[in-house]
Every structure is written in structure tokens, then in C-alpha cells.
Amino acid sequence: MPDEYVVQLDTFVSRFTEKLQAKDTSDLLSIIKSNPTTACAEALAVAITNLAQKRPLEVDALVLPIQALFDAAEAQSIQVYDYDDGSEPVTFHYVFILHLAEFVKDALHETMLHTPKHTEITPSNPTLATALFSASAIKHGLLANTSAPHNFTRQGLQLPETGFDSPGEVERQEVVAIGACLHLYIAGATMKNKLLFKGEDLLQSLRAIEKKRVISYAPGITLLQHTIIDAEGGFIHSDHFPANVWKELFPDQA
């Protein structure tokens, strides 16, 4: 990656982080319009995912203004011309979502080599914080067609095709099961129709991980039980705010 790109990326990450931390999103569109580049789009995704991991209670405050920004026709029409040499221009939104989805996938699936897995059930666990953000983003339509959160949730449910009930996956099973519950408890109504393959049963899978005692962390067990109740009702009446769910999962941090 060229040094110039890295400098641009770092500069935009700092600008977006400052704006998002201050909840001052009024001029994000003007920044994007003035800098319709790949570096700017990637930087917005970096700033959002970094803040989501550091401030999980504020994931909705990150997701909602960004979704509103890209709901506007003016933002949807901004073109990026430097995404790939020789290719046709693509929209800024496309490049941003591409990077955001990749960062979410990396955090959920812990793809970094030579890095210890995050297996502690704590509010500082980046996998759990990213799961909370991902659930909010799916619920509100920011990540509408991203496969990684669905694959992650399938692993947490230990569906047969995932192989996630194997001995080699034991160290991550509880974290991923809780992350799956976060997704379903918050965004189950949106996710349920894209989650399962033919013959699979979501409610049965939730009850199975409860029976196997995959989750031993007490508030995590409660989250699983609440998710089962919502699944019994088809997630029709579930409308849970991520911040409240996080406080219930980590009551000592509330």
C-alpha cells in the first residue's frame, strides 16, 4: 500500500473519529463529497468499527446517522474513481460497505494470524462488541447483504454444517454462542430468513446449545433464554435496544 494512501487513511480516520466521538455528523457528507476516494471510504469504516469496539453502548449512535447519511440520494450518487486502476467508477457507499463488512468479518471470526483468541466474557472483548455493532447494523439496514454475521451466528448455534461443535473450536464456543444470541436477540426478525438452510430449525438449535451448556456465564445464559423466548414467537415482537442488551449482559459495567 503506497505511503501516500496510508497518510490519507490516517488523516481521515482521525477526522471521522473526532466527529463520531462528538456525535457531530452534520458535515460528514461535505467531507465525503470533498474527498470521494477509497482512502476516505475505508477510513470511515475504520473509525466506526474502532469506536464500536471501544464504546459498545453507543453502537446505535454510530449506525443510525451513517444509515441516514447513505439513505440520502446525494450521498448514494457520490462516485469513487480510484478504487481499482482501470475499472469503472463505483459509488462511495459501495466501497465503504465493502470495507465495513470486511472489518466486521475479521473481528467476528478473529482472522488475525498469530493473535490469541478473545475467549474471556468481558465488556472489552472486541468480538462481542463487534457482534453488538453488527446486530445493530443489520437491524437498521446498514449491513443488509453481508454474509459474515450470518455465518458467525450459524457457528454460535453449532449448526451441523459449520463443524463448530468440534474439539478444536471449544475455546471460542461460548463467546461465539453469546455473539450469536446478540445477533438474534437484536436483529432476529431481519436475520431469520437468511440464516438457515433447508431442514434446519432455529429454535431447536438454540435449545440444543442451552442443553449442552455451551454458555456458562450467568448473564449469557439469561440472554440465551430471552433469545429462545423471542424465537418461540418468531421474533415478531422483539425490539431490543443494543445498549440495554449490553447492560444486561454486563450489569457490573452499567
Summarised one tens digit per residue, pLDDT across range 182-214 is 999 999 999 988 888 777 889 999 999 999 999
pLDDT on residue 124: 96
d(CA 177, CA 34): 43
The phi and psi torsions of 235 (rounded to 5 degrees) equal: 60, 20
pLDDT < 50: residue spans in the chain:
none
d(CA 112, CA 131): 17
What is the pTM (predicted TM-score) of this model?
Answer: 0.94
pLDDT on residue 97: 97
pLDDT on residue 25: 87
Summarised one tens digit per residue, pLDDT across range 24-45 is 888 999 999 999 999 999 999 9
